Amino acid sequence: MKAVTLPARLDTAAADQLWSELFGETDEDIVLDGAMVEVFGARCLEVILTARQLCEGPGRSLVIRSLSQAAEKDLLTLGLSSEDFSAGDAS
């Protein structure tokens, strides 16, 4: 399992770094810790959704744990919620 602590600002400037972190090892489950996220932008959401698609398969998953209230609000604005990322096999 690959654990990634998300930065406070998941904005366009953070997207390339996030891409590098998530796609460095795509053969593992990915657990994202969103407790510190203050801003959740569309570009980083796109990166995370792409990573989730690549993790689809037997025994693999991508989940977001401990998403902050500010990030949850931004996700709702973008049409999703943390519940869209909570299912899966990652522990």
Determine the average pLDDT of the residues in 1-17.
Answer: 95
Q: What is the mean pLDDT of the chain?
A: 88
Across residues 46-55, what is the average pLDDT? Answer: 91
Q: What is the pLDDT of residue 69?
A: 96
Return the residue matching tokens 């994202």. Answer: 32
**Residue 57 pLDDT > 80:** no
1-27 mean pLDDT:
90
- 89 pLDDT above the threshold of 50: no
Position 48 pLDDT exceeds 80: yes
Identify which of 46, 48, 16, 47 has the alpha carbon closest to the alpha carbon of residue 32.
48
Check if the beta carbon of residue 40 is closer than 8 Å to that of residue 68: no
**Does 87 have pLDDT greater than 50?**
yes
Q: What is the pLDDT averaged over residues 19-26?
A: 79
